[in-house]
Structure 1
Amino acid sequence: MLLALVWANACMAAQDPLPSWNDGGTKQQIESFVTKVTKPGSPDFVEPAKRIAVFDNDGTLWTEQPIYFEFFFVLDQVKAQAPQHPEWKTTEPFKSALAGDMKGLAASGEKGAIELMAATHAGMSTEEFARRVNQWVSTARHPKTHRVFTEMVYQPMLELLHYLRENGFKTYIVSGGGQDFMRAWAEAVYGVPPEQVIGSEAELKYELRDGQPVLIKEANVALVDDHAGKPVGIERFIGRKPIFAFGNSDGDQQMLEWATSGDGARFAGLVHHTDAAREYAYDRKSPVGTLDKALDEATAKGWTVVDMKQDWKVIYPAEKQ
């Protein structure tokens, strides 16, 4: 009898496509949507070619506090390149970056962040940039958890990505983060290949170096893939309107509006960071990952809101039982 019970429980666990999600309304909404758009004969059936799912990255697929992880990478690049730039010691935003002055960096705003990225990335080939990113993500560690950053992806969202792909969806990352930064490791971590990663990007230039063709990153920005830039990036790179979209902040609001504006069944989800013990708790007042207007719209339009504390059994893969 005991053996039969153990076997039954094991079979149930094997059949559960989202084992790290607690049973409840949120999980049911996701599974119900996937069932109705993939079941032949369903009035909401969507052919596989149109099953497009888009996900924000920072705060949706991995942690984004205390600052966006890519910014840690940029700061490390500033420090590594500082010996060749003595003028940075007295010039903002480099002075604050070298001193670890987060208030000073915050004061420089988006303009300062773009200046830092341009100074540390411009003139580099895409291959060299990818090598630097991969070296960094394999060694750099989060200041609070001391885990490498790629260990701070959300186990429930990894399961969701897999579940969608198993049901004929094509999964894309659509993020305000750097496109080349994410493309360097997204396939190994999320199972999302480079051609399905859309992010903010710099202009590229083709040239020959030592007789070899290379693409060189330039200082000029080609696309800021955030807020209203996300629907633009989706149209530019995918050419189809998604039927499933997940984000976590006001920066994702327009993407969710775009995905839910078409005919037929549509799904919009937000990850609400409510777990200060296992991760972080923040929303309307946070300078990173602000969730204010999008949360109000989610309530008004019936979007699915994931309560991290209530809906997720575990946060990170290392916590799996």
Structure 2
Amino acid sequence: MRRLIPIVVATLIPFTLSADPLPSWTDTEARNRIVAFVDGVTDPDSDDYVTPADRIAVFDNDGTLWAEQPVYFQLIFAMDKLAELAESDPSILSSPTLEAAAKGDVEGIAAGGKEALIEVVNASHSGLSVADFQTSVAEWLDTARHPKTNLPYDQMTYQPMVELLRYLRDEGFTTYIVSGGGIHFMRVFAEKAYGIPPEQILGTYNDSTYEIVDGTPTIVKAPGLAFIDDKEGKPINIDRTIGKRPIFAAGNSDGDFAMLEWTTAGTGPRMGLLIHHTDGEREWAYDRDSHIGRLVDGLDKGPDLGWVIVDMANDWSRIYTGKN
């Protein structure tokens, strides 16, 4: 009789539907189009079926998976690191740009353009082994807080996007980050924050050297940028590193336009997803005139290309993983 009990009990348990995979997405067209796309490419009986090996999804990071205002978080890290280094060696601040960075003067850095940004990155990132650099990033993430929200930076990830990443993986997709952010910077937190392992992160990277340090073979970050993973560089890096054209791409700015354009130009079912920052109360509202995450081409051309434009204010019931 005891052997029959589990069978009897199992037949008495009512059938329940699986939990909503996207609970922080409101019931709008954007959510419905995502679900319809995923249903189509994962149903073997559908004309849109795509084998798991080809279910590649790529995501920008800054402004797409976590916030990017008032400036990119990696730049805030670089400024904090420079200020820390200058306490023990003031001579490191050898230019007006570096002096501005150590003071947290974002406008002073911006006045110098791209060259100033590279100077700040070189001074704060180079000369360290990759392991030491990543330890420094981890320590910063443990203590630093965002000036507006007071949240740890790695809790300013977008809850709806974390859910989307998980949903796609549950449906047989392989998810990648393809970002203008530094590859070694993102690899510190991305697996914990997004469930994306280091080998599935594509980003900007410094020149590097191979050295024997205290008898140990070591990769050292050198001055100079070897590759900038932005704009047209994104599809180039995807082709070089992944070797397949994705069927799903998500971004938030014109820096992601080429990646979405290349992804959705392929044959078969495709989806381009643009995050439009429309929520000035819970986050920030910006697009065409923003100094960070400028979005013009995506708004003007994306709809005609069939892309989904996510309205953060209306399509998301929650913003951050760290706060409703």
User: Do they superpose with TM above 0.5?
Assistant: yes
Determine if the alignment matches structure 1 residue 237 to structure 2 residue 241. Answer: yes
Equivalent residue number for residue 187 of structure 2: 183
Equivalence for 2:38: 34
**1:265 equivalent in structure 2:** 269
Q: Which residue of the other structure, out of 143, 162, 165, is the alignment partner of 2:147?
A: 143
Per the alignment, in what secondary structure is the counterpart of residue 274 of structure 1? coil
Cα-to-partner distance string for 1:208-261 (whole Å, 9 max, x where unaligned): 111111101111211100011101111121111100000000000000011111
Structure 1 segment 197-276 matched on structure 2, within 5 A: 197-276=201-280
Percent of matched pairs sharing the same residue: 50
Tell me, yes or no, if the aligned pair for 2:79 and 2:103 is still in contact at 8 Å: no
Distance in 2, matches of 1:15 and 1:86, equals 56
**TM-score scaled by length of structure 1:** 0.94
CA deviation after TM superposition for structure 1 residue 167, in Å: 0.4
Asked whether the equivalents of residues 186 and 201 of structure 2 are also in contact (C-alpha less than 8 Å), the reply is yes
Pairing 1:160–2:164 present: yes
Cα distance in 1 for residues equivalent to 2:295 and 2:288: 5
User: Structure 2: how far apart are the matches of 1:157 and 1:313?
Assistant: 12
1:122 to 126, 136, 139: 126
Distance 1:17 1:90 in 2: 51
Tell me which of 266, 286, 290 is aligned to 1:286.
290
Structure 1 stretch displaced more, 82-91 or 197-206: 82-91
Size of the aligned set, in residue pairs, is: 312
Structure-1 separation of matches of 2:215 and 2:103: 40
Following superposition, the deviation at residue 299 of structure 1 comes to: 2.2
Please list the CA deviations of residues 171-204 of structure 1 after superposition, one character each: whole Å capped at 9, or x if unmatched. Answer: 0000000010000110011100000000000122
2:301 paired residue among 277, 297, 300: 297
Gaps of 5+ in 2: 1-13
Which of residues 88, 106, 110 is equivalent to 2:110?
106
* SS of match in other structure, 1:306: strand
Q: Which amino acid in 2 is paired with 1:94?
A: L
Partner-residue secondary structure (3-state), 2:143: coil
CA distance in 1, matches of 2:104, 2:247: 42
Q: TM-score of the superposition, structure 2-length normalised?
A: 0.93
1:36-51 to structure 2, matched below 5 A, reads 36-51=40-55
CA deviation after TM superposition for structure 1 residue 72, in Å:
0.5
Q: Is 1:53 matched up with 2:57?
A: yes
Residues in 1 aligned to 2:214 and 2:105: alpha-carbon distance in whole angstroms: 40
Distance in 2 of aligned mates of 1:319 and 1:125: 35
User: Which of 93, 100, 115 lines up with 1:96 in the alignment?
Assistant: 100
Q: Is the 8 A contact 2:83 2:103 kept in 1?
A: no
Q: Which letter does structure 1 place at the counterpart of 2:211?
A: E
Paired AA for residue 252 in structure 1: D
Q: Are the counterparts in 1 of residues 125 and 133 from structure 2 also a CA contact under 8 Å?
A: yes
1:283-304 deviation line (CA, Å, top 9, x unaligned):
0000000011121111221210
What is residue 66 of structure 1 aligned with on the other side? 70
Residue type at the aligned position of 1:164: L
Aligned partner letter, 1:74: A
* Unmatched tracts of structure 1, length 5 or more: 1-7
- Structure 2: distance between partners of 1:92 and 1:251: 28
1:318 is paired with a residue whose SS is coil
Partner of 2:9: none
Q: Is the 8 A contact 2:230 2:255 kept in 1?
A: yes
| Cα RMSD for the two superposed structures | 1.7
The answer to whether the 8 Å contact 2:145/2:152 transfers is yes
Separation in 2 of the partners of 1:42 and 1:72? 47
